[in-house]
Amino acid sequence: MNIAMEKSNYASIKVVGVGGGGCNALTRMLIEPAEGVEYIAINTDAQALDVTEANEKIVIGDKVTRGLGAGADPQIGAKAADESREEIADKIEGADMLFITAGMGGGTGTGAAPVIAQIAHDMGILTVGVVTRPFRFEGAKRMMNAEAGIRELEQYVDALIVVPNDKLLEISQEDTTLVDAFKMADEVLEFGVLGISDLVTVNGLINLDMADVKRIMTNVGICHLGIGKAEGENRVDEAINFAMNSPLLETSIDGARKILINFTGSDMKLKEINKAASLVRDAASPEAEIIMGAVNDESMGDQIAVTLIATGFTDENRNRNKDTNGRDLSFAKSQTSPKAQPVAKVAPAMPDFLNNSMSQRESQPTTSRFAQGKMASLNNSFANPQTSAFASNRNAYVAPKQPNMQKPSFMNGNASSTPKAKTEKSTKILPWFYSEDEDVNE
């Protein structure tokens, strides 16, 4: 089998950063990128895009904004993305899985992210949204924009992960800088991409593939994506606790009906894996489908890393997935199942891999990675394709798919494309998004 054939067997994962917040996240992630993952920056602000690190960059909405930004107006952000639909589709073509990250509440991220998600939906790409909700101190208007943008985005993504910025206040120290705080939020996306790429590209002791990921994450709405890493005598307990109860998310795995869990480490004991899987099973729904994988990686030393994806939350468990203001975050409806008995939880301490300062990251670039040793260069991605991404990364390529170019429903009331089928979805149009009787060019 030649190298071209081997490349076609790898799943293609792409990450799109939208707007100022999303592009800043890409720049921070690309300090040490995951190999085999393509990073695409999309913005209406040409000047900001110039200083963004990415494999590909797109200035959207040249006619609408002339490269000057969306001015915190989601309608302009949506129009800009609609204007650049073909270019966006061209850049995400060929992806098996697409992550869309944005800071919600502003103009470009809030308005353009749902349009990009709809384009990916029409192309048949498994799409995951990872977005932040603004701090309360940013004001009611920005929060309202964010909530509406999150609802609209959810119509087109398969799975949605919401990181509330207010959580950063709860876990930060007095001397935590703003840069350090946002880096911690970015690591939800960073570790999620790294963990999932490892799930689908590495041959493990117990194999998982893209079909397993799609089974758990397709058309599920709210999603819990937890990452844990620990070492020592209680390494499994600590790692699984971090993964089940991420201090940066509003979700836990209580009552989840679909769970994918992967262990990466060396010299993993059967009883360790059994104990961790039992903790997950006890917290999930009694009817939960649990898919498990395990990758042996000698470079991990005494460390063990856990990637946990939980979806399919029941109506009974919606209240557990609400923030302190009672906002409902469980967008996906599902049939009611018997109430799960949750495992007793201990509030997790801030894990070391989320609590390092930027200065530590720069001097020790691998402190936020699952394995020791700096990631290999993208040019060496096929040097050892059987090594896990926690130690080294891989390239990925698949044959391109043909896009189906249609506007999302909120951009065009007569569009034939409809959002993914989900129960009891609201069809209310956002008042500040695209309107046929209003033209920002006039």
What DSSP string runs through 137-179?
A: GG-HHHHHHHHHHHHHHHTT-SEEEEEETHHHHHH--TT--HH
Q: What is the pLDDT of residue 169?
A: 84
Q: If you classify domain 3-157 with CATH, what class do you get?
A: alpha beta
Confirm if 185 and 132 have CB atoms less than 8 A apart: yes
* Structure tokens, 16: 């799109």
Report the candidate in 194, 161, 148 with the shortest Cα–Cα distance to residue 388: 194
Task: Please report the sign of the dihedral spanned by the C-alpha atoms of residue 433, residue 128, residue 48, residue 66.
Answer: negative
Q: Where does 202-290 have alpha helices with state H?
A: 210-217, 235-244, 270-283
Binding-site residues for GTP sit at: 20-24, 107-109, 138, 142, 186
Convert 397-410 to b/e letters by CB count within 10 Å (16 or more is b).
beeeeebeebbbbb
Q: What is the pLDDT of residue 420?
A: 54
Q: What is the pLDDT of residue 370?
A: 45
Domain spans of the chain?
Answer: 3-157, 224-356
* Structure tokens, 192: 């999620």
Domains 3-157 and 224-356 alike in fold: no
CATH 3.50.50.60 at 224-356, yes or no = no
Walk along the chain (442 residues) and give the pLDDT tens digit of each residue: 444 445 556 789 999 999 999 999 999 888 888 878 999 999 999 999 999 999 999 999 999 999 999 999 999 999 999 999 999 999 999 999 999 999 999 999 999 999 999 999 999 999 999 999 999 989 999 999 999 999 999 999 999 999 898 888 888 888 888 888 888 878 777 877 877 877 777 777 787 888 889 999 999 998 998 888 999 888 988 999 889 988 888 888 888 899 999 888 888 888 888 888 888 988 888 888 998 888 888 888 889 989 899 999 865 554 444 443 444 443 333 333 333 333 344 444 444 434 443 344 344 333 334 443 333 332 333 233 334 444 443 333 333 344 444 544 444 544 334 455 543 433 333 434 444 444 444 3
Confirm if 193 and 13 have CB atoms less than 8 A apart: yes
Task: Please report the sign of the dihedral spanned by the C-alpha atoms of residue 427, residue 431, residue 433, residue 437.
Answer: positive
Strand order in the sheet with 13-18: 56-59, 37-43, 13-18, 97-103, 126-133, 159-164, 221-222
